[in-house]
Amino acid sequence: MIRLESVTKVFPGASTPAVTSLSLHVPEGEFVTLVGPSGCGKTTTLKMINRIIEPTSGRIEVGGRDVLAIEPHLLRRSIGYVIQQVGLMPHRTVAQNIATVPRLLGWPKDRIDDRVDELIELVGLEHGMKDRYPAELSGGQQQRVGVARALAADPPVLLMDEPFGAVDPIVREHLQQEFKDLWERLGKTVVFVTHDIDEAVRMGTRVAILNIGGILEQYDRPEEILANPANEFVARFLGEERGLRRLGLLPVSSAGLERGPVVDISADPSEARTVMETHGVDWVGLLDGKRLLGWVPASEIGSTPLRDLRPRDFLVRLRPDDSLRRALDAVVTSRTRVGVVVGDDGYLGMLDVETVAEEITE
Amino acid sequence: MTIDWAWIGDHLGDIWQATREHFLYTVIAVSFGLLISFALALVALRWPRTYGPITWVTGVLYTIPSIALFTFLVPVFGLTSILTAQVALVSYTLLILIRNIVAGIRGVPDHVVEASRGMGMTERRIFLDVQLPLAMPAIIAGIRVAAVTTVGLVTLTVIIGAGGYGLFILRGIGRRFLTEALVGTVAAVLMAVVIDRALVALERAATPWARRRRPA
């Protein structure tokens, strides 16, 4: 969908190029994150795609068209653009801001109005906000308007320059999740610049790691980059928590779950003791058919029938699509040192710290 | 000394005539000043290197004592010509107007301009639809200062045969007749205040977004 071929940018007066002969192919429907330290040319690269910055040499194609052969302002109307400071027009209302590109394209008023309503809903804003000015919105709301504005004319490609960098961490995480969900529904091709490696691996279906001077060090799926960094630079950039980051990308369902120390409440208490002994633990999980009731400590297992005991809750119940990072957290913070996994049909199994560790080293 | 109310009553027609003349001189001077300043500001914005020379020249014009300038222009345009008065009045408005227009346009945040460009707006449209409206508060602030200054300067044009309220002041002082001098002074002050308030109202009407802020 987007193809950069030997693209170089040398800014006037600079002795070294900001981007050096960069070739990068972004297939249709992919979410590519460009990440790297300051001065790695990630923003320059992004801005060359919509010609906010003109490349010194090389070729850039979007949807098979050579961008240098198209009038810049016409090119930009077919590419969504979101920047960190959002850049909403302060003298225009939310609705007018969102309508910017459709108006430039000369859509009839009715169609613009319908589209604005649709987008307000899509990005999770309230209709009451349509007539507000940007200064009346919170940072997170402004960023949502920015995304809505970029999507207004339904461009196939979206360029985003650290779009969630200026909002506080809690809102940022929320916006990231929302935007990832939105992307999955809309199927746009996204190029997303960030300096935050966590954001890069969490958001991207592919991650491009750039070094100073716009040198591409590695371009691959995030799991692959975390498991096999191409070189020392990438390994260092990924940092010491590489294993944990990788766990953040893998779902619980990818790990081998065990049935663990559990018994049905219909069983005899002696069976519970056997199970505990086999697993070498001082507690046992109680099942009622497929339903996981909780756990009881060994000290409470006597002659009382299991169904008359009062099981304690597992503090965290994982879902199969939760990340292994979350599972690890559940394991190390729980009294029982396991993470229990429960799906729509009931108890699926549990994992302990060894199971998770295997996934890191794999 | 007391105010001679009878004199004022007898000269209402003259006062009205002077008001019209004074206002007209002010409006013409500020309008032409704005037009020229706008053109020069465009040049300065397009070619930033010209901004220094432009403000230097208009700055020099601004510092010439006004009476000297009026006198100096008489041999060029003639004694009673409206042109003599206007050339001087207009040149005094240039510095403040150019500076405010340029500062207003440059004060528009870069990210707003970049985002507008990224949406596919042409440079011309960005200027007209984004930068100019957002520069309006600064531009109108410049017009207010220029207009109030001009109201004051018009009184001085009496020395080259124009005058507006200036004639009352000059004659009043010459004849040691307080009432007449006061009429000229108070009327000029009132006109300055009225014009200033009107421009404030215009600014509020032109910038509805600036009045609404997010509740804390």
What confidence tens digit (pLDDT) does each residue in A212-257 have?
Answer: 999 999 999 998 998 889 999 999 998 877 788 888 888 888 888 8
Q: Is the pLDDT of residue A362 over 70?
A: no
pLDDT at A143: 92
Instruction: Dump pLDDT digits (tens) for B1-36.
Output: 688 888 888 889 889 999 999 999 999 999 999 999
Q: Is the pLDDT of residue A106 over 70?
A: yes
Region B34-58 average pLDDT: 95
Q: Are A177 and A82 in contact (CB under 8 A)?
A: no
pLDDT at B213: 61
Region A156-174 average pLDDT: 89
pLDDT at B68: 81
Q: Are B172 and B4 in contact (CB under 8 A)?
A: no
Q: Is the pLDDT of residue B56 over 90?
A: yes
Nearest chain B residue to A49 by CA distance is B118
Residue A65 to residue A3: CA distance in whole angstroms: 10
Instruction: Dump pLDDT digits (tens) for A41-77.
Output: 999 999 999 999 999 999 999 999 999 999 999 999 9
Instruction: Dump pLDDT digits (tens) for A276-309.
Output: 999 888 999 999 989 999 999 988 888 888 888 8
Q: Residue B83: enclosing H or E segment and its boundaries?
A: helix B82-106
Region B150-156 average pLDDT: 92
Residue B169 to residue B122: CA distance in whole angstroms: 53
pLDDT at B164: 86
Residue B120 to residue A130: CA distance in whole angstroms: 22
Residues 6 or more apart in contact with residue A263 via CB below 8 angstroms: A271, A272, A275, A284, A285, A286, A287, A306
Q: Is the pLDDT of residue A2 over 90?
A: yes
Question: What are phi and psi for residue A236, nearest 5 degrees?
Answer: -70, -40
Region A315-326 average pLDDT: 88
Q: Is the pLDDT of residue B112 over 50?
A: yes
ipTM of the complex as predicted? 0.82
| Both structure tokens of A233 | 């630079």
- Among A34-43, A316-325, B14-23, which is the least confidently predicted range? A316-325
Do the chains contact at A83 and B111, CB–CB below 8 Å?
Answer: yes
Interface of B with A (CB under 8 A): 109, 111-122, 130, 133-134, 207, 209, 212-214
Instruction: Dump pLDDT digits (tens) for A138-153.
Output: 888 999 999 999 999 9
pLDDT at B214: 54
Question: What are phi and psi for residue A304, nearest 5 degrees?
Answer: -65, 135
Q: Which one has a higher pLDDT value, B162 or A280?
A: A280
To test the contact with chain B by mutation, choose from A49, A83, A89 the residue with the greatest count of B C-beta atoms within 10 A, namely A89
Do the chains contact at A104 and B119, CB–CB below 8 Å?
Answer: yes
Q: Are B82 and B162 in contact (CB under 8 A)?
A: yes
Q: Which of A100-109, A353-362, B80-89 has the highest mean pLDDT?
A: A100-109
Region B104-113 average pLDDT: 95
Residue B101 to residue B71: CA distance in whole angstroms: 30
Give B114 to chain A, closest Cα distance, Å: 7
Do the chains contact at A87 and B114, CB–CB below 8 Å?
Answer: yes
Q: Is B163 left (phi over 0), alpha (psi -120 to 50) or beta?
A: left
Region A308-319 average pLDDT: 89
Give B118 to chain A, closest Cα distance, Å: 6
Q: CA dihedral defined by A257, A260, A264, A269, rounded to 10 degrees?
A: 180
Query: Percentage of residues in chain A with pLDDT exceeding 70?
Result: 99
Nearest to B119 among A81, A84, A137 (CB): A81
Nearest to B194 by CA among B154, B138, B144: B144
Region A13-32 average pLDDT: 94
pTM: 0.80
- What are the distances in angstroms from CA A81 to CA A154, A163, B69? 12, 10, 54
- Among A341-345, B78-82, B201-205, which is the least confidently predicted range? B78-82
Burial A296-318 (b: 16+ CB within 10 A, else e): beeeebeeeebeebebbebeeeb
Put simply, whether A88 touches B (Cβ < 8 Å) is yes
Q: Is the pLDDT of residue B211 over 80?
A: no
Q: Which residue is associated with the tokens 């960190």?
A: A84
Computed over every residue of chain B, the mean pLDDT equals 90
| Both structure tokens of A46 | 């992004």
Read off the pLDDT band of B216 (50, 70, 90).
very low
Residue A25 to residue A1: CA distance in whole angstroms: 8
To test the contact with chain A by mutation, choose from B119, B136, B203, B212 the residue with the greatest count of A C-beta atoms within 10 A, namely B119
Which positions in chain B touch A146 (Cβ < 8 Å)? 115
Q: Is the pLDDT of residue A339 over 50?
A: yes
Residue B168 to residue B180: CA distance in whole angstroms: 5
